[in-house]
């Protein structure tokens, strides 16, 4: 008895376009967690990240007919998620600016205390992680996007370059600059 290999993403797209709702459900199941991880790193707010995941899959469903099977589905989906993250960041900044809670440069500190842990080392580690999250969030989009896509999402420099419309070298340079800026922000000597 041989087991059939699970269908590739491109096959599931074809099935979904042919009317098989279960095929798109399978695509969502496969890609929901990675899209959420990407969104949470970009916006650093769980509820906003969940909204972005939902918006990403709604947009993907609507644009499914425009998917180019020569590109990896995950890269195409990340491009949609990236646009949704950018939209959410603009909306959040506009709301905060209008309410008087944000400056025009858009920098804001994010705190996520976790009262469940009281051990000193855990607290220090969480504070450091929160500082890093805030530092990543404070990076300009031109540095943050390739940094998150390559270092956290596992895209190759070529995939990130394709998604962002940049050259591979530009992606490498921006990741290098993001690392340097983060080191400065975190007080770590390069």
> Contact, 117 vs 123, CB < 8 A?
yes
Asked whether the predicted pLDDT for residue 16 surpasses 50, the reply is yes
Q: What is the reported pLDDT for 104? A: 39
User: Residue 150's Cα: distance from chain center in Å?
Assistant: 10
Helix/strand/coil percentages in the chain, nearest 5:
70, 0, 30
% of the chain exceeding 90 in pLDDT: 44
Give the CA angle between residues 179, 43, 94 to the nearest 5°. 115
Calpha distance 80→176 (Å, rounded)? 25
Helix (H) or strand (E) holding 153: none
The alpha carbon torsion through 117, 124, 92, 73 (nearest 10 deg) reads -90
Over range 115-121, report the average pLDDT.
47
Over range 12-25, report the average pLDDT.
94
DSSP for 158-177, please give it. HHHHHHHT--HHHHHHHHHH
User: What are the tens digits of pLDDT across the range 24-81?
Assistant: 999 999 999 999 999 988 888 888 899 999 999 999 999 999 999 988 999 999 999 9
Task: Report yes or no on whether pTM surpasses 0.75.
Answer: no
Give the CA angle between residues 95, 108, 85 to the nearest 5°. 60
> Contact, 9 vs 30, CB < 8 A?
yes
User: What are the tens digits of pLDDT across the range 75-85?
Assistant: 999 999 999 98
Q: What is the reported pLDDT for 108? A: 42
> Contact, 22 vs 13, CB < 8 A?
no
Asked whether the predicted pLDDT for residue 171 surpasses 90, the reply is yes
User: What are the tens digits of pLDDT across the range 122-149?
Assistant: 566 667 777 777 888 888 989 999 998 8
DSSP for 32-69, please give it. HHHHHHHHHHHH--HHHHHHHHHHHHHHHHHHGGG--T
Q: What is the reported pLDDT for 154? A: 81
């Amino acid at each position: 008895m041989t087991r059939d290999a699970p269908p590739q993403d491109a096959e599931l797209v074809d099935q979904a376009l042919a009317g098989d709702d279960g095929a798109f459900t399978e695509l969502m199941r496969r890609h929901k967690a990675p899209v959420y991880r990407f969104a949470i790193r970009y916006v650093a707010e769980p509820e906003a990240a969940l909204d972005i995941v939902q918006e990403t899959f709604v947009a993907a469903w609507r644009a499914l007919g425009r998917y180019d099977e020569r590109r990896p589905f995950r890269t195409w989906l990340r491009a949609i998620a990236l646009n949704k993250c950018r939209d959410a960041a603009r909306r959040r900044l506009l709301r905060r600016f209008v309410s008087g809670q944000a400056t025009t440069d858009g920098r804001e500190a994010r705190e996520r205390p976790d009262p469940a842990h009281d051990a000193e080392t855990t607290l220090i580690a969480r504070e450091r992680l929160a500082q890093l999250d805030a530092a990543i969030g404070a990076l300009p989009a031109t540095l943050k996007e390739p940094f998150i896509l390559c270092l956290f999402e596992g895209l190759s420099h070529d995939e990130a370059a394709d998604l962002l419309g940049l050259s591979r070298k530009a992606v490498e340079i921006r990741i290098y600059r993001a690392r340097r800026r983060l080191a400065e922000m975190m007080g770590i000597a390069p």
